[in-house]
């Protein structure tokens, strides 16, 4: 079994996690084989089945095994992450090499700890980023120039991405830094710090030795950035760039509103966009999220002074994108979920496609991601933190912060030559992958959606296992093959063999591992080196035997199985027989050998059996041995069946999940359709209501007109009547007075002496003269006529008017009497 570095698609390392503090001592399921030669690294482990299980002892080979005391920096150095970083930087002016670093293991075995670290320790991601930015050093593009290069970066991006500059993105994502809090997304882990003999700290002449503690922000007060707005400095500088930006922003940037904007407003708009660092045509602003901006990050291990070479004639930027594979779908971590049409409270994330694009005909890419362009380590770490906040994690029975998706963190290093005429952007990508862990529902105590997730995770890991197994089989067989294939020929042969197209995870991990065969079909497609891969398998030596052995079987570069010779009952019998009678056993032979029941002590204490009895016993013993062998085979068969059942269950769960997804999508579609129809009907109803209302308003206007005219006429008549009534009342009053005088006179004189009133001197008439009575008669006649038709007035009902008229007639009757 040779585990030396090979032409495998992935170098596979094994890392053993230390026991959690205060964990009860339990039996180790594996042991690390010490190398014979001094100084060479351990690369084999032996998996020991628990004593109650009669299983084969398996030995696995890895590129290297990191034992429990290995630090993050040990893993960083020994897993050869530095050469990968250098390959991405392409120091010799060539194309560069993509790299993938991934972790694989049972849940809770330390994958996330290795990749992302904890609150006190940095993971491989932060270490790789730190070295990357340190190595680029002064060749990094100035932060103030980021908005100016967005357009050119966008135009050469093959994944139809939406680009934003880091300051703008971070401002939209994080809340006011005055409410800064510590990063809370990682678990606390005790830190192991050891002196490293193999770490060669280098400082290049052009790079000053680091003055500050790595991972603190140099431009903010150490440990107390609460009063500092981290983006403000950049923005102030950007403001100075406003004018230059106005001139430099390509005309296409204002294309959309060209018709509606004057030259002045267009200029203002461009300047605003420049300040924001936002590409106006293709990149809509990221929705505001207001996460808590972390103030400090872990600072250890320290990689100050460690750097690799970069291309001195080039200028660089680092473009970050992050996505996760959840239930076999790809979701952007830097683009938060948007509200659905069906429910404004429900946030739905749009899955992205992994496909070939116009600029990438020979390779598939995740299309439509949001990418953030960074020029400083500080910004890159904040972008990483923002993406991690979107990642799906859940507490399970096996791990309190368990990753429920496979997280992909991509760092594209873009570079272009720095001469008078700047060249086009080229670049390579470092992808760091934190895989979700395989788990058993029984141990993890998952249910509902988390159980479905677990089914999907297990299924994708099973496919990944198949790919890794195939690669190691291909690698091993090619080693012993008499027909020597060139390394390249082996690799080109592999796409057809490695079954990586079965799920999104394996497609994403493996599809860039092969030389682009279709570059011949696409003469303009750039030739790309196959990516380099590092897989760090994590295992808990005190963990579950079955789960760990399954992962190791999938991932090891080589495996050696030793089936222990289980002593059969016959052998036991013979071993207990006296030496003089021992003979080789054959099923067809009868052995003149005394049978000693196990544990029966010495031969002398037993009475020898007859030869017939002995033969029967031996036949029985052979039968028992045969049966026990059969049982062994059956046990192996049961194990296979159990595995197949688990896979089928996982498949079933994934199908259920797909159905749920489909149902949700159909529901969404129906809801959207319903909403559209409802909106249409509503607008139609509103339009007809408006017409109807207009019509009825017109109708009522006409009626009111008629009424008003009628009321005016009635008012006139009423006024005339009032005058008449007043006259009459006066007349009645006068007549009453006259009547009173006459009555008094009549009472005082005899009838013969009476003079007519008109002839008397003491009667002063205020009435109209003789024709007054005739007038009065005429007036009364008129009143009768007008009272014949009752009328409504503006201030009285017909009833009231009739009452008044009746009263007047009474008065007149009184008068006439």
Ligand X SMILES: Nc1ncnc2c1ncn2[C@@H]1O[C@H](COP(=O)(O)OP(=O)(O)OP(=O)(O)O)[C@@H](O)[C@H]1O
Residues that bind ligand X (CB under 6 A): 17-18, 105, 107-113, 118, 187, 189, 399, 401-403, 436-437, 538
| In the complex, minimum distance from the CB of residue 293 to ligand X, in angstroms, rounded to a whole number | 24
Residue 101, marked binder: no
- The CA distances from residue 622 to 294, 570, 599, 626, 778, in Å, are 72, 6, 19, 6, 152
CA distance linking residue 277 with residue 166, whole number of Å = 8
Please count the residues of the chain: 817
| In the complex, minimum distance from the CB of residue 407 to ligand X, in angstroms, rounded to a whole number | 9
With respect to ligand X, which residue has the nearer C-beta, 321 or 438? 438
| In the complex, minimum distance from the CB of residue 5 to ligand X, in angstroms, rounded to a whole number | 24
Token couple for 666: 């159909």
| In the complex, minimum distance from the CB of residue 21 to ligand X, in angstroms, rounded to a whole number | 9
- Closest to 794 (Cα-Cα) out of 719, 703, 693, 744: 719
DSSP letters along 325-341, please? EETTEEEESSSPPEEPS
| In the complex, minimum distance from the CB of residue 386 to ligand X, in angstroms, rounded to a whole number | 20
- Closest to 746 (Cα-Cα) out of 733, 734, 732, 760: 760
With respect to ligand X, which residue has the nearer C-beta, 20 or 423? 20
DSSP state of 99: E
| In the complex, minimum distance from the CB of residue 387 to ligand X, in angstroms, rounded to a whole number | 16
With respect to ligand X, which residue has the nearer C-beta, 120 or 158? 120
- Closest to 230 (Cα-Cα) out of 164, 274, 170: 170
Q: Is the dihedral of CA 123, 126, 130, 132 positive or negative?
A: positive
| In the complex, minimum distance from the CB of residue 366 to ligand X, in angstroms, rounded to a whole number | 22
| In the complex, minimum distance from the CB of residue 388 to ligand X, in angstroms, rounded to a whole number | 12
With respect to ligand X, which residue has the nearer C-beta, 111 or 593? 111
Residue 112, marked binder: yes
- Closest to 73 (Cα-Cα) out of 4, 130, 135: 130
With respect to ligand X, which residue has the nearer C-beta, 401 or 644? 401
Token couple for 229: 């707005």
Cβ atoms 375, 166 nearer than 8 A: yes
Cβ atoms 370, 161 nearer than 8 A: yes
With respect to ligand X, which residue has the nearer C-beta, 399 or 576? 399
CA distance linking residue 60 with residue 561, whole number of Å = 9
Residue 117, marked binder: no
Residue 586, marked binder: no
Q: Are strands 44-47 and 57-61 parallel, antiparallel or unpaired?
A: antiparallel
| In the complex, minimum distance from the CB of residue 357 to ligand X, in angstroms, rounded to a whole number | 32
Cβ atoms 296, 223 nearer than 8 A: yes
Residue 785, marked binder: no
With respect to ligand X, which residue has the nearer C-beta, 110 or 533? 110
Residue 720, marked binder: no
Coil, strand or helix at 320: strand
Residue 465, marked binder: no
CA distance linking residue 787 with residue 806, whole number of Å = 9
Residue with tokens 């496979």: 406
With respect to ligand X, which residue has the nearer C-beta, 351 or 437? 437
Q: Are strands 162-165 and 370-374 parallel, antiparallel or unpaired?
A: parallel
With respect to ligand X, which residue has the nearer C-beta, 118 or 172? 118
Exposed e or buried b per residue across 532-571, where buried means at least 16 C-beta atoms within 10 angstroms of its C-beta: bbbbbbbbbbbbbbbbbbbbbbbbbbbbeeeeeeeebbbe
Cβ atoms 473, 658 nearer than 8 A: no
Enumerate the β-bridge partners of residue 364. Answer: 356
Residue 106, marked binder: yes
| In the complex, minimum distance from the CB of residue 189 to ligand X, in angstroms, rounded to a whole number | 3
Binding residues, as ranges, are 105-112
Show binding-site residues for ATP: 105-112
């Amino acid at each position: 079994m040779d585990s030396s570095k090979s032409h495998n698609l992935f170098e596979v390392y094994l890392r053993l996690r230390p026991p959690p503090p205060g964990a009860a001592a339990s039996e180790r399921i594996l042991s690390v084989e010490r190398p014979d030669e001094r100084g060479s690294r351990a690369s084999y482990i032996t998996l020991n089945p628990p004593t109650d299980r009669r299983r084969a002892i398996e030995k696995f080979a890895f590129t290297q095994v990191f034992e429990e005391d290995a630090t993050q920096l040990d893993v960083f150095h020994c897993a050869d992450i530095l050469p990968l970083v250098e390959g991405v930087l392409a120091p010799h002016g060539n194309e560069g090499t993509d790299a993938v670093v991934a972790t694989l293991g049972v849940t809770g075995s330390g994958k996330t700890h290795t990749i992302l670290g904890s609150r006190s320790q940095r993971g491989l991601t932060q270490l790789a980023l730190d070295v990357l930015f340190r190595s680029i050093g002064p060749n990094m593009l100035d932060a103030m120039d980021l908005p100016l290069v967005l357009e050119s970066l966008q135009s050469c991006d093959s994944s139809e991405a939406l680009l934003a500059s880091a300051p703008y993105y971070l401002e939209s994502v994080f809340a006011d830094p005055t409410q800064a809090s510590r990063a809370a997304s990682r678990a606390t882990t005790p830190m192991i710090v050891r002196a490293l003999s193999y770490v060669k700290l280098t400082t290049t002449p052009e790079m000053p030795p680091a003055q500050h503690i790595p991972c603190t922000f140099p431009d903010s007060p150490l440990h107390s950035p609460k009063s500092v707005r981290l983006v403000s400095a950049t923005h102030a500088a950007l403001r100075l760039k406003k004018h230059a930006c106005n001139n430099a922003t390509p005309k296409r940037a204002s294309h959309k509103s060209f018709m509606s904007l004057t030259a002045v407003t267009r200029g203002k708009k461009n300047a605003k966009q420049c300040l924001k660092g936002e590409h106006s045509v293709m990149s809509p602003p990221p929705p505001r999220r207001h996460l808590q901006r972390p103030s400090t990050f872990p600072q250890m291990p320290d990689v100050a002074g460690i750097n690799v070479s970069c291309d001195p004639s080039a200028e660089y930027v680092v473009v970050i994108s992050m996505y996760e594979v959840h239930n076999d779908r790809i979701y952007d971590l830097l683009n938060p979920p948007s509200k659905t049409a069906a429910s404004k409270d429900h946030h739905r994330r749009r899955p992205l496609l992994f496909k070939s694009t116009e600029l990438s005909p020979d390779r598939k890419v995740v299309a439509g991601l949001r990418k953030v362009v960074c020029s400083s380590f500080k910004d890159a770490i904040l972008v990483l933190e923002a993406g991690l906040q979107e990642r799906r994690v859940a507490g399970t029975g096996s791990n309190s912060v368990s990753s429920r998706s496979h997280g992909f963190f991509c760092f594209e290093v873009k570079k272009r030559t720095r001469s008078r005429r700047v060249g086009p952007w080229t670049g390579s990508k470092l992808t760091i992958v934190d895989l979700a862990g395989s788990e058993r529902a029984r141990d993890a105590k998952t249910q509902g959606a988390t159980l479905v997730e677990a089914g999907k995770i297990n299924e994708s890991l099973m496919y990944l296992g198949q790919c890794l197994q195939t690669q190691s089989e291909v690698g091993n067989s090619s080693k012993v093959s008499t027909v020597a294939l060139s390394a390249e020929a082996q690799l080109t042969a592999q796409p057809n063999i490695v079954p990586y197209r079965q799920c999104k995870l394996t497609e994403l991990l493996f599809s860039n591992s092969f030389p682009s065969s279709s570059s011949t079909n696409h003469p303009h497609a750039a030739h790309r080196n196959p990516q380099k891969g590092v897989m760090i398998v994590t295992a808990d030596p005190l963990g579950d035997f079955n789960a760990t052995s399954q992962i190791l079987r999938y991932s090891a570069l080589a495996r050696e199985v030793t089936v222990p010779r289980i002593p059969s009952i016959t052998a036991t019998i013979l071993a207990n027989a006296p030496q003089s009678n021992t003979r080789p056993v054959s099923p067809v032979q009868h052995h003149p050998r005394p049978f000693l029941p196990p544990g029966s002590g010495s031969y002398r204490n037993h009475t020898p059996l007859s030869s017939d009895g002995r033969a029967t016993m031996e036949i029985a013993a052979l039968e028992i041995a045969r049966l026990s062998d059969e049982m062994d085979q059956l046990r192996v068969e049961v194990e296979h069946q159990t595995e197949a059942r688990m896979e089928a269950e996982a498949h079933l769960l994934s199908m259920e999940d797909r159905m749920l997804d489909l149902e949700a999508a159909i529901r969404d579609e129906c809801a959207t359709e319903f909403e559209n129809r409802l909106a249409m009907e509503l607008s139609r109803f509103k339009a007809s209501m408006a017409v109807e209302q207009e019509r009825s308003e017109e109708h009522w206007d006409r009626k009111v007109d008629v009424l008003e005219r009628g009321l005016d006429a009635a008012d006139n008549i009423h006024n005339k009547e009032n005058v008449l009534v007043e006259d009459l009342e006066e007349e009645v009053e006068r007549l009453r007075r006259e009547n009173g005088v006459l009555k008094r006179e009549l009472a005082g004189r005899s009838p013969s002496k009476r003079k007519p009133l008109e002839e008397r001197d003491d009667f002063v008439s205020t009435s109209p003269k003789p024709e007054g009575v005739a007038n009065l008669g005429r007036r009364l006649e008129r009143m009768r006529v007008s009272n014949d038709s009752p009328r409504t007035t503006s201030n009285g009902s017909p009833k009231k008017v009739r009452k008044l008229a009746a009263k007047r007639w009474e008065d007149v009757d009184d008068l006439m009497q």
